Structure 1
Amino acid sequence: MPHQISLQPGGQTFTADDDQTVLEAALAAGLLLPYSCRDGACGACKGRLVSGEVRLGKHSDSALTAAEEAAGLTLFCRAHACSDLVLEARNVSRVGDIPIKKLPCRVQKLELAAPDVMVVELKLPASEPFQFHAGQYIDILLADGQRRSFSIANAPEGAEHIELHVRRIDGGRFTGQVFETMKVRDILRFEGPLGSFWLREDSDRPIVMVGGGTGFAPLKGIVEHCIAAGIRRPITLYWGARDRAGLYMDAVARGWETSLPGFRYIPVLSEAKADDAWTGRTGLVHAAVLADYADLSAHEVYACGAPAMIDVARASFTGERRLPADAFFADAFTFANPAD
């Protein structure tokens, strides 16, 4: 039986069948709730259950803790309505005219950017246009039906290819293929664009970007979009890595300081090695932001990286630094179990 779902504070309504998650029903109704992984692992779709009852599917304890669930929070990608619902969900938008497609693509470039990071360029089919917002991601479709998600690291303007930054995972089925057997001209299939992580262009607030590791990828796409589209909002990018090799496109990021007015780049290393000869910022990347900003109330933050980084950044920025909750946009990277 369909259940009526109402969203606060926006007032949007839609219905959900018993076999649909809240996220699936919202997307089917043309409403885009914040989301990323869609499998209960990242917490990007977390929101408050104001009234009603849901059946919550399998999820990671780090994405939704027992304390959060007891406090009335739920994961929209894993929640099935058992009654009419009222939910608190911020940053809700209408699905635009960009369709989600399943397409073939051809590997046109493989470049080892760091010992554990491969930059993969996928040539798009000339016969079928592929549109996306800078910052979104795609799912690579494996032969056995499994999926692997990767952010698009280039801007949509004039794109005839999509760029992925693939970090090697020990035992990873797809990443092992990328690093060991993949060749230029190999054919892959993907689905996309996916996710709600992109620049909100109806704002003129200064932007703070926080990237951890290959969380740099979607931020790169957004910065390149700003350059191509002539967007001149002040942007400060904090990119965190363990060592200097982890800043695998450091020269690219430094170059933006001359090509994009108002752009600043602050690299941060958490475990710099002696031979890195590092004289820059050290520590955790979100802590560097806290050290530089006493008040984020007039800013927007775009953060991408491991779920733990996203969680602590959200809590500290919206708490002690007074960032509005609806001005924090995040994409949490999760990794599939190599056995899956």
Structure 2
Amino acid sequence: MTFQITVQPSGHQFSCEEDETVLAAAMRAGVGLPYGCKNGACSSCKGKVVAGGVTHKAHQQRALPPEEEAAGLSLFCCATPHSDLVIEAREVAGSSDYPLKKMPSRVATLEKVAPDVVVISLQLPANETLKYRAGQYIEFMLRDGKRRSYSMATAPDGGPITLHIRHMPGGLFTDQVFSTMKERDILRFEGPLGTFFVREDSDKPMVLLASGTGFAPIKAIVEHMAGIKSERKMVLYWGGRRPRDLYMDALCRQWAQDLPNFDYVPVISNALPEDNWTGRDGFVHQAVMADLPDLSGHQVYACGAPIMVESAKRDFVQRCRLPEDEFYADAFTTEADLANP
């Protein structure tokens, strides 16, 4: 059976099959609903069901607590309809501007930049390009039908695509990356995906917030903004447990020297005596709050561990006056996150 979905306040409409998620149907129709992980863990796609009913597939309870579901809120990435729907959602302009492609790629280089982080550069087929927005991601399509998502760490300027991959011991894909993967291996992917990218219709100062390899899409954003010679103010707060987790610290310090509108604040939470760390310590989002207690005139772009993203959104909105619709995020969920409800 096919159902009709109407989006408020835009009035856009699209059809959805009964076994299809609302988000999948919207993407197929080119309707720009916001989303991130697509697996019920990050809450980026959360909206309201105004009329009609849905059934939710497995999802993280923290992304949609029972009381929110009872109040009519929904995670559209895992909601299937059982009637026509009227939904309330903030659409993302430009999210469907570039076509979704499936293509092979060849591993051009593998560089270990930290004990648990590898930078992979991909070579696309001859005469093929991937158009995307800085901050978006691709999904590798593995042989068993599973997928793994990684943000592109380079600006969409036609150069090689690079990815920052952290080793998750026991991980289906990352174990392969850190053990048997070699240059010239073939990987198939689909992209571009995600609605985490710069809203270029604003001139508000940007707070860029990253933990761990959440730096990857932030790096793409900084390079893109520098490439178009944007004059918007940017400040990057990058957090890690130990200094070695900030695996491209030297690059960030170079940006701070070369870009007149860019500042960099590294933050370490668990430095050891042998690290000789003398910089900022504690939780990275709290460093933002200490420096910028009033975020009412800012945009925030946050990427990294779900707990960091969730804490930052809550505290920035409740305590720093950040408008909720000016917080843009991409929470890096893992299979371990999905296994814990």
TM-score by length of 1: 0.94
Quick one: structure 1 residues 256 and 173, their matched pair in 2 at CA, closer, same or farther if it must change by over 3 Å? same
Could you tell me how far apart the structure 1 residues matched to 2:337 and 2:65 are?
24
Secondary structure, aligned partner of 1:173: coil
The more displaced of 307-316 and 132-141 is: 307-316
Structure 2 residue aligned with 1:303: 302
Summarize the alignment of residues 260-339 of structure 1 with structure 2, pairs less than 5 Å apart: 260-337=259-336
Among all aligned residue pairs of Structure 1 and Structure 2, give the percentage whose two residues are the same amino acid: 55
- Aligned residue for 1:104? 104
Give structure 1 stretches of 5+ with no counterpart: none
* Map of 2:162 onto structure 1: 163
Distance 1:11 1:230 in 2: 36
For residue 40 of structure 2, what is the amino acid of its counterpart?
G
Q: What code does the residue aligned with 2:334 have?
A: F
Structure 1, 206-215 or 81-90: larger mean CA deviation: 81-90
Deviates more, 1:28-37 or 1:195-204: 28-37
1:24-47 Cα offsets, whole Å, 9 max, x none, are 121122111111111112222112
Q: Matches of 1:121 and 1:54 in 2, distance apart?
A: 41
Name which of structure 1's ranges 310-319 and 277-286 shifts more when overlaid on structure 2.
310-319
Query: Residues 91 and 235 of structure 1: is their aligned pair in 2 closer, same or farther, counting only changes over 3 Å?
Result: farther
Compare 100-109 and 44-53 and name the one that shifted more.
Answer: 44-53
Q: Partner amino acid for 2:22?
A: V
What is the CA RMSD across the aligned residues, in angstroms?
1.9
The match for 2:205 is: 206
CA contact (8 A) 2:41 2:338 kept: no
Q: Which deviates the most, 37-46 or 147-156?
A: 37-46
Task: Find the residue that maps to 1:93 and give its secondary structure.
Answer: coil
Corresponding residue for residue 220 of structure 1: 219
Query: Quick one: which amino acid aligns to residue 45 of structure 2?
Result: C
1:130 corresponds in structure 2 to 130
SS at match of 2:128: coil
Q: Who is 2:117 aligned against?
A: 117
User: SS at the partner of 2:252?
Assistant: helix
Give the letter aligned to residue 214 of structure 1. Answer: T
SS of aligned partner of 1:15: strand
- Give the residue type in structure 2 aligned to 1:146: K
Partner SS for 2:132: coil
What amino acid is the match of 1:43?
S
Instruction: Report the Cα distance in structure 1 between the residues aligned to 2:10 and 2:337, rounded to whole angstroms.
Output: 40
**CA drift at 1:95:** 4.4
- Can you list the C-alpha shifts for 1:241-291, whole angstroms capped at 9, x where unaligned? 000010000001111112222111111111111111111111111111111
Q: AA paired with 1:246?
A: D
Output the amino acid matched with 1:139.
E
Distance verdict in 2 for CA 1:84–1:12, change over 3 Å:
same
> Counterpart of 1:215 in 2: which secondary structure?
helix
Measure, in 1, the Cα distance between the counterparts of 2:6 and 2:337.
Answer: 38
Quote the Cα distance in structure 2 between the aligned partners of 1:53 and 1:186: 46
Whole-angstrom distance in 1 between the partners of 2:110 and 2:281: 31
Instruction: Name whichever of 287-296 and 235-244 sits farther off.
Output: 287-296
Q: Is the CA contact (8 Å cut-off) linking 1:148 and 1:336 kept in structure 2?
A: no
Query: How big is each residue's C-alpha offset from its partner over 1:70-124, in whole Å with a ceiling of 9 and x where there is no partner?
Result: 3332101011122333323224325444111111111111111111111111112
Q: Distance in 2 between matches of 1:202 and 1:261?
A: 21
Q: Deviation digits for residues 153-203 of structure 1, max 9, x if unmatched? A: 0001132x2111000001112111111111111111111111111111111
SS at the partner of 2:319? coil
Matched with 1:253 is: 252
Q: CA deviation at 1:16?
A: 2.2
Q: Contact 1:34–1:91 (CA<8 Å) still a contact in 2?
A: yes
Match of 2:29 in 1: 29
Contact 2:95–2:194 (CA<8 Å) still a contact in 1?
no
Contact 2:129 2:158 in 1 (8 A): no
Distance 1:91 1:24 in 2: 14
**How many residues in Structure 1 have an aligned counterpart in Structure 2?**
339
* TM-score computed with the length of structure 2 as normaliser: 0.94
Q: 1:315, CA displacement in angstroms?
A: 1.4
Find the counterpart in structure 1 of residue 18 from structure 2. Answer: 18
- Structure 2 portions without partners, runs of 5+: none
- Indicate conservation of the 8 Å contact 2:34/2:91, yes or no: yes
Taking the aligned partners of 2:229 and 2:156, their CA distance within structure 1 comes to 14
Partner of 1:239: 238
Residue 141 of structure 1: CA displacement?
Answer: 1.4
Q: Output the CA distance in 1 between the equivalents of 2:169 and 2:152.
A: 22
Tell me if structure 2 keeps the 8 A contact 1:172–1:338. Answer: no
- Paired with 2:25 and 2:337, the residues of 1 have a C-alpha distance of 30
Task: Please give the alpha-carbon distance, in whole angstroms, between the structure 1 residues aligned to 2:96 and 2:53.
Answer: 30
2-side partners of 1:124 and 1:338: how far apart?
31
Distance 1:316 1:68 in 2: 19
Q: Distance between the aligned counterparts of 1:25 and 1:251, measured in 2?
A: 43
Paired residue secondary structure (2:150):
strand
Assess, with a 3 A threshold, how the Cα gap between structure 1 residues 186 and 330 changes in structure 2: closer, same or farther. same
